[in-house]
Structure 1
Amino acid sequence: MLLVDPGLYIGTVADLNDSQGLAAAAVTHILSVDSVDPAPLVPADGNFRRKWVNVLDEVSSDLLSHMDDCFRFIQEAVDGGGAALVHCQAGRSRSATIITSYLMKKHQLSFTEASLRLKAAKPDVQVNSGFEEQLCLYEALHCEVDTSSPLYKQYRLSKIIEKRALFRGSSVLSHSVGGGGAQAFGYRKSSNCSGDVQCTSYFIEPVQWMEPALVGVMDGQCSSKLGSFSWCGDRCSCGSWVTPAFQLHHNRVDEIRQINIQK
């Protein structure tokens, strides 16, 4: 457990077993940033205020949404004359992210400045790239998570896309509208279908989430039928025969296009 700022320590889950160390540091608040609740490890003889943020150390995990709440929790300890211990499993990524955001907000530092200050106290911190991007966004939001901000809305949308994307434009297979015969069995990768006739389905390459499906193409989370598949091929609404046919109906999926938001 290392002191980073007055009343603020960074540590690992092992530090929870150090009753003497916690008492010597006057720790009153324990902030756990981990996928497992460490409550059983917290000394029973200590009267600690606890907060648990259930987050995996993965690039796709969301810590930005918790930064303001964590700041208030840490500041509560400092203002009360105590100290806060922020820990994860190894004390290198998740806890380091929260502490960096705290330093940014409290001392009005940039992400780079706060990161350097933390590394001066604990050189082995290694925040994953996803959390680094969130800290940069936190700086752009002036260290205040404003849910009405276009920047924050775009961030939340990106998280939804990461979790729920069925396929990307690069997986779409184009075909000759109204084509037939031998030419209908050829295809090439493209992001758009050609021609004036409107196709009512996407034909795509097989993707991993389709693997459990035996009849129809089922979404793995909501179990809704999104289309159909046939290794022998199927006919598009435009009249073209596509082989193999992994077909998703336009009216069963939403198309999300990336837009540039001016800062």
Structure 2
Amino acid sequence: MWVLNVESYRKKLYENNITHVLSVIKASLERLGEEAKRFKHMSIDIDDDESSDILVHFPAAVRFIDDGLHPHGSQTREAEGTTPASPKNGVYVHCAMGKSRSVSCVVAYLLYKYPHRFGGKQFTDSPASTQRRRLTAKEAVTSALECVREGRPGAEPNPGFMQQLELWWEMGCPADDEGAVERHPTYQKWLYDGMLQEARDMRVAPDAERIRFEDEVRAEEKEEDDATVTQRNEKEARCKKCRRTLATPNFLVSHTPTGEAASSTCAHIFIDTLSWMRPMLEEGALDGRLVCPNSKCGATVGRFAWQGLQCTCKQWVVPAFSLNRSRVDEVSSRPIGSSAIRMPPGRNGSL
């Protein structure tokens, strides 16, 4: 329950020319009586808990803050080299302790409004620039948090909120409308990973209806295609018995610390969750066999384990969808439309 000293609160609002109040907690201004009508108020009812989803509220929060500070120029980001006009109005952002929830929203706003100050995509190298590289998400968020700490030394978002701020930065701080985050693939994948973690903690398989099949998701998102990844000379995996393609290169999952391709000595080839696995995963088992989807074949090609598997190289993959290297062939893929022609014996193809 949010408690305030009405007289002190009213005085602070007037002294700082506050026009907007953002409460990152369940709150109202009704105790101000009729004076409450003088302020625009938004309340985000959320707990200060690492598992709380504050990311989904960032678009509404930053739009509200920007509307308060720049009522006639809302939704415009500061360009590099420009001198921002000092806002005539003030926005009061608070939670219970002014330490985690409210600070997270202010940091989200700084990252959104002034991206070039933190090495964002809008940043362009120039001879006058003092910043010579783009910052990682963690560095950008930490830098924005330090700006807040200049005026609020105790600012300390909880670790879960810090992670979500990093995701916000990686997503490009989408705030075109209040649903911008919800539509973003990165957010949807983050929610999915959270659901899987919750299922693992409960030692149960995830809800079959909520399983994410990467080939279907990427087809909708029109992401990287096979032609692009084959330029990196990667290989696809095919059933050794019937030659049915099981996973193209862009669905292979690296399990090495460096993110490079796994060693050929590894017994497992880890892949994304793919739609041909649906019949096996819908049974609701924590682990089981992966069977070739060719109905005339039905060979066992690997196994899955929602709790994870350890490869022979000692690396863990969680969750794990593994093809047994002895049960598949690894074949170089060619982009669609390639004109490779097999020449007759004794001919090298030269004219």
| Range of TM-score over shorter length | 0.5 to 0.7
Of 91, 94, 104, 1:87 maps to: 94
RMSD: 3.2
Count of residues paired in the alignment: 169
Q: Output the CA distance in 1 between the equivalents of 2:320 and 2:39.
A: 46
Shift of 1:152: 1.4
Structure 2 equivalent of residue 45 of structure 1: 35
Q: Output the CA distance in 2 between the equivalents of 1:15 and 1:164.
A: 44
Distance 1:15 1:150, change over 3 A: farther
1:139 equivalent in alignment to 2:174: no
Task: Note if contact 1:13-1:87 (Cα within 8 Å) is conserved in structure 2.
Answer: no
| 1:147-203 Cα shifts (integer Å, max 9, x gaps) | 444321111213434566672379xxxxxxxxxxxxxxxxxxxxxxxxxxxxx7869
Of 93, 98, 112, 1:105 maps to: 112
Task: Note if contact 2:182-2:188 (Cα within 8 Å) is conserved in structure 1.
Answer: yes
In structure 2, stretches of 5+ residues that fail to align are 72-87, 119-139, 175-179, 206-282, 287-305, 308-317, 322-351
Matched letter for residue 52 of structure 2 = S
TM-score with structure 2 length normalisation?
Answer: 0.43
Which 4+ stretches in 1 moved above 2 angstroms? 12-17, 36-44, 145-150, 158-170, 200-203, 255-260
Shift of 1:21: 1.2
**Identity between Structure 1 and Structure 2 (%):** 24
Counterpart secondary structure, 1:45: helix
Counterpart secondary structure, 2:52: coil
Structure 1 equivalent of residue 160 of structure 2: 130
| 1:219-261 Cα shifts (integer Å, max 9, x gaps) | xxxxxxxxxxxxxxxxxxxxxxxxxxxxxxxxxxxx697489x
In structure 1, stretches of 5+ residues that fail to align are 1-11, 171-199, 204-254
Q: Output the CA distance in 2 between the equivalents of 1:100 and 1:29.
A: 17
Q: Which has the higher strand share?
A: 1
Task: Note if contact 1:59-1:130 (Cα within 8 Å) is conserved in structure 2.
Answer: yes
Distance 1:50 1:165, change over 3 A: farther
Of 27, 44, 58, 1:67 maps to: 58
Counterpart secondary structure, 2:146: helix
Task: Note if contact 1:28-1:77 (Cα within 8 Å) is conserved in structure 2.
Answer: yes
TM-score with structure 1 length normalisation?
Answer: 0.56
Shift of 1:113: 1.4
1:21 equivalent in alignment to 2:56: no
Q: Output the CA distance in 2 between the equivalents of 1:27 and 1:259.
A: 52
